[in-house]
Amino acid sequence: MNRDRAKRYAISVWKEWRITVFLIVFVLIPAKSSLADWNWVPTGSMNPTILEGDFLFVNKVAYSLRLPLTLCHLAKWSDPQRADIVICFSPEDGTRLVKRVVGVPGDMIEMRRKKLVLNGQALDYTVTGLEYIEGGSVDRARILATEDLSGVAHTVAWMPGFGEPQSFGPIEVPQGHYFVMGDNRDASKDSRTFGFVQRKAIVGKAGAVVCSFDITDKYQPRFKRFFNSLK
């Protein structure tokens, strides 16, 4: 008797929720996987462009259409360009990352004292400010500068004499791969550490900050960052 009652209850629940389950499994999940998604940013590797606690809109059809829940491309119409902010998977451990493309296939990348050289041409940098960041017993000076990467001006930050390698290269970006970096140059684990990112591991382009919450201050909303486009 109890078994029959449980069976009838299960059938009634299924009839009530089957449309919702169908929409989630066959519509929402595939759309989130292949068309559009959001990405919460827990770290400061892209600070000051993207802050800890930002929620990003991710356009997953910016470059191609993928088979849902896979990295297989069904169609491709473009490739990531220099200065694009992309969502990719780390070749080291598969972690989902938000980084900026600084080198495309065939580019020669070099860094001299934390400033990039692209195909033999040093990028233009304009220092815009100086901040002091708490770092243990002493404060460290952080330089803010505008970097011009293929005509896209964006803010980067670094701390003199600290962080990731200050100089490297030149190295050539192989075909089918990309060199990515964080705008917070001394607090970003990127291609300087884990190497080039394969094209298939880039799954979308970050287009805007949808909303933002300050994780250092009880998740207070940062209303000025809501619906801000990224560059």
Fold adopted by 38-229: Umud Fragment, subunit A (2.10.109)
> What's the length of the chain?
231
Q: What is the pLDDT along the chain (231 residues), one digit of tens a residue?
A: 577 777 777 777 677 777 765 555 555 555 455 566 889 999 999 999 999 999 999 999 999 888 877 778 788 899 999 999 999 999 999 999 999 999 999 999 999 989 999 999 999 999 998 887 665 444 678 899 999 999 999 999 998 877 667 889 899 999 999 999 999 999 899 999 999 999 999 999 999 999 999 998 999 999 999 999 998
Tell me how far apart the alpha carbons of residues 132 and 148 are, in angstroms, rounded to a whole number: 24
**Is this structure's pTM higher than 0.95?**
no
Give the residue numbers annotated as catalytic, written as ranges. 45, 99
Q: List the domain boundaries for the chain.
A: 1-34, 38-229
